[in-house]
Structure 1
Amino acid sequence: MGMKLRCSVHHHLLVIPPPPPSSSSLFSFSSYSPLLLPRKNIRDKQNQAILFERNLRSRRCVIVASTNVAAPLSEGWMPDKGASAPSLSDILWPSAGAFAAMALLGKMDQMLASKGISMTIAPLGAVCAVLFATPSSPAARKYNMFMAQIGCAAIGVLAFSFFGPGWLARSTALASSIAFMIYTRSNHPPAASLPILFIDGAKLHRLQFWYALFPGAAGCLLLCLIQEMVCYLKDNFKF
């Protein structure tokens, strides 16, 4: 990693090479005098060393790693240059997994129609994108997913119980869900929508705290099984 020396006196970056090795305890800084040391009135090596140290202190130099320099703002609006172009199989298998997931959830909806409960909820679509498209991301970890799904859903039930429907319940539930995920280190963005879904969905209110397990966490179990199939197909059937 390249290191740069930022000097506040001249407001520019100045690269200073290390002093040459010497057997004496006092180094010779004659080669650096054009940049840092006035040669006038310097009579011996000891005075040169003292003036060199004072010069560095007066400049208030700070070592800055080159990797800490902020990236241009335009890079955030462009695709990752380091990532290779996806193959056809990398596109097909995740898409096929998402289709199979929604088809199975729809079939389960038909079986549960008499009870007025639906497994096909919007947050599970976002979970499909995380599990199938980015299976190695932190959000796809099983701990993150289930901890966030169960915790955020329970927070939505509590917020509705205290504040009823409305903006205050939504705001409190969303803020509490984000704080919960940060505290438990279970970052899983799709779970943040579960509290709002419960507060605004009248047909879900009768579930009460069962909502913490159904349909969010229960649906994630099915999606995890499909994810294993998708990962297997991506690794073994490439084209």
Structure 2
Amino acid sequence: MGMQLRTGHLYNNILTLPNPSSITSFSSFLKRGSNLVGGERRRRYGFRIAASSNATTTPFWDGWKPDKASASPSLSDILWPSAGAFVAMAMLGKMDQMLAPKGISMTIAPLGAVSAVLFATPSSPAARKYNMFVAQIGCAAMGVVALSIFGPGWLARSTALAASIAFMIFTRSAHPPAASLPILFIDGAKFHQLNFWYTLFPGAAGCVLLCLIQELVSYFKDNFKF
């Protein structure tokens, strides 16, 4: 019955003729009827249409493809970061020779990851100087504390990693390479003698050198393109 009343009301609106003086032509009358019918359909089915238009489906394989919006890198965009990484690791290697009598190495794996962040994605949040140094110092300290409490083993590693992630989230200093520093300290007996000096060396100290080289890489990328 409700449907009949609604339909009757709709067609009464269509068939009720206004003052003949206000109708310019028969086509305007038909247009009025079409608008009323279309409005009724939109009112009745508008929610369903809106819901279907707002639904966004992302294909599963899109996450496995390169970003379509990014332009293809030029040769200079590839060469200068690669050259910067080579120079950085070469300088760290020469420093290793100087520190060899003390049994300490500057060519640690986290600094390789830092090089990739600084040279390949310099505009990413992880490449911010605040994120890098706060995370490097804080995460290294987590490793020292975890080792002193739990000793070497799985409990110290898992606790230090969890604390490092919590620290980076709390301080808003997300820098993924720093998360490997506490595990490196716990498993690397040659670093135990540093104790809390490990918070500054070799991670933070190596990052100072990498930041200087990054500035050179950025200069060459901006001024020597090919």
Question: When the two structures are superposed, what TM-score results if normalisation uses the length of structure 2?
Answer: 0.79
Deviation at 1:34, TM superposition (A): 5.5
Aligned counterpart in structure 1 of residue 120 of structure 2, from 133, 142, 155: 133
- Aligned-partner Cα distance in 1 for 2:74–2:156: 44
Task: Give the match for residue 46 of structure 1.
Answer: none
- Describe the shift of the 1:62–1:169 C-alpha distance in structure 2 as closer, same or farther (beyond 3 A): farther
Q: How far apart, CA to CA, are the structure 1 residues paired with 2:157 and 2:53?
A: 43
Q: CA deviation at 1:62?
A: 6.8
Q: Secondary structure at the match of 1:220?
A: helix
- Where does structure 1 lack aligned partners over 5 or more consecutive residues? 1-27, 37-51
How far apart are the structure 2 equivalents of 1:35 and 1:154? Answer: 66
What is the aligned-residue identity percentage? 73
Change (3 A) 1:113 1:167: same
User: 1:55-134 to 2 correspondence within 5 Å?
Assistant: 66=54, 69-134=56-121
> Which residue in 2 is equivalent to 1:32?
38
Q: How many pairs does the alignment contain?
A: 193
1:195 and 2:178 are equivalent in the alignment: no
**2:23 alignment counterpart:** none
* Deviation string, structure 1 residues 123-150 (Cα, Å, up to 9, x no partner): 0000000000010100000000000000
Aligned-pair CA distance for 1:65:
7.8
In the aligned structure 1, how far is the partner of 2:126 from the partner of 2:113?
A: 11
1:216 aligns with 2:193: no
Q: Separation in 2 of the partners of 1:218 and 1:212?
A: 9
Deviations 1:47-91 (A, max 9, x none): xxxxx6xx689x68976885x724211100111111111111111
Q: Distance in 2 between matches of 1:113 and 1:198?
A: 18
Residues of 2 paired with 1:136 and 1:130: CA distance?
9
What is the RMSD of the two structures over their aligned residues, measured on CA atoms?
A: 2.2
CA drift of 1:92 comes to 0.5
Counterpart code for 2:217: V
SS at match of 1:86: coil
Higher strand share goes to which structure?
1
Aligned residue identity for 2:38 = Y
Match of 1:143 in 2: 130
Question: Counterpart of 1:197 in structure 2: which amino acid?
Answer: L
SS of the residue 1:120 aligns to: coil
In the TM superposition, what whole-angstrom CA distance separates every residue of 1:141-179 from its partner, at most 9, and x where no partner exists?
000000000000000101111111111111111111111
Partner AA of 2:41 in structure 1: L
Q: Mark the CA change 1:33 to 1:137 in structure 2 (over 3 Å): closer, same or farther.
A: closer
Gap regions ≥5 residues in structure 2:
1-32
> TM-score, normalization: structure 1?
0.75
Separation in structure 1 between the aligned mates of residue 58 and residue 185 of structure 2, nearest angstrom: 40
Greater alpha carbon shift after TM alignment, 175-184 vs 216-225 = 175-184
CA distance in 1, matches of 2:143, 2:194: 12
